[in-house]
Structure formats: C-alpha cells, structure tokens
Amino acid sequence: MLAEYVTGIGIDAILYTCSAFGEAIDEVARATPMPVLKPNEAMFEEALRLGTHIGLLATFQPSIPSLEQEFVDLAKAQRPNVTLESACVPEAMAALTAGDADQHDRLIAEAIPRLAHCDVVMLAQFSMARARSAVQQVIGNKVLTSPDSAVAKLKAVLNVQQ
C-alpha cells in the first residue's frame, strides 16, 4: 500500500487529491498514525466556519452528488442549519483538457455570479484552484480552494504535533 510506503520514508501527512477514493482514504486514515486528509475536507470545514449559505462550483458534473453528500454529512455534525447550492461549468473542464487554461479560468469566473449571493463559494476540484484570482476579481475573497484550505489545515495540524 502506498500509505505504508510513505510512512516508511518519513512523510508527515497524506493529502489525497481525488475524492473518488473516499472509502480507501478512510481506511488509510484508520491505519496510519499521521494526518490523512480527503481532498475537500479542509475546504468544507473552512466553509462551514465562514457561513450558512455555501456555494459549490464544479467543472465535472458527475462529481457533484458525492461532493454534496460529503459536505452534508460533515455539516450535520458541525452546522446543521447550513444550505449548499451547487453549479457546474463543464465547458471549463473541456477547455482545460484541450490545453486552454486561460479559457478554463475565464469560464469559471464568468459562471461565479450564479453563486455570488452565497456567503462563501468553494471551487470543487483541485484543478480549479488555478482560477482563484480570476474568481476573486468577480466576488472578492469569499472563494475557497481545496489545495489552499488543505495546506493551511496541514500546517496547523503539523505545527501542533511538533
């Protein structure tokens, strides 16, 4: 198992970047002593601290139901009165897949007004993080990305452990 390998080479934490491995991630978290994060875990936690009407923007439609369920499950324990509103921009993923990263970012920024009324908006996939500055130009700093939230959480967790 990859987790056993990284434990043996001195890694301090594991951050998964694809939520498709949810059950496997849970199993690794139970089996290893180091911090293990799911891709969106820290971002969801941060969003729950920042508001009660949360937006989720994705570029891959099939991922939305599982992301929504993961968010709702976490919210039930932390903030049961929260609402989640989702939107999708599949054209952005198509642009990125075709190698047009600027078009990807532009399409995400153009779609973000659909969720601008939310307290905070989460960009659902790691690949969307590159569009953060374009989105901030439209809605300001009320945007979260998985990589930024995860790194901040891991830094905090690892600093506490030292």
CB 118 within 8 A of CB 138: no
Looking at the structure, tell me whether residues 29 and 46 fall in a common domain: no
Looking at the structure, tell me whether residues 27 and 47 fall in a common domain: no
- CATH (domain of 76): 3.40.50.1860
Average pLDDT, the chain: 92
Contacts of 50 (CB under 8 A, 6+ apart): 119, 120, 142, 144
Looking at the structure, tell me whether residues 27 and 88 fall in a common domain: no
Looking at the structure, tell me whether residues 123 and 63 fall in a common domain: yes
Residue 162 pLDDT exceeds 60: no
Looking at the structure, tell me whether residues 62 and 131 fall in a common domain: yes
Looking at the structure, tell me whether residues 84 and 140 fall in a common domain: yes
Taking the model in full, what pTM does it have?
Answer: 0.89
The domain of 29 spans 2-38+149-161
pLDDT digits (tens, 9 = 90+) for 103-124: 999 999 999 999 999 999 999 9
More confident residue, 35 or 10: 35
Looking at the structure, tell me whether residues 45 and 32 fall in a common domain: no
Dist. CA 149–CA 96, nearest whole Å:
22
Looking at the structure, tell me whether residues 30 and 85 fall in a common domain: no
Looking at the structure, tell me whether residues 89 and 142 fall in a common domain: yes
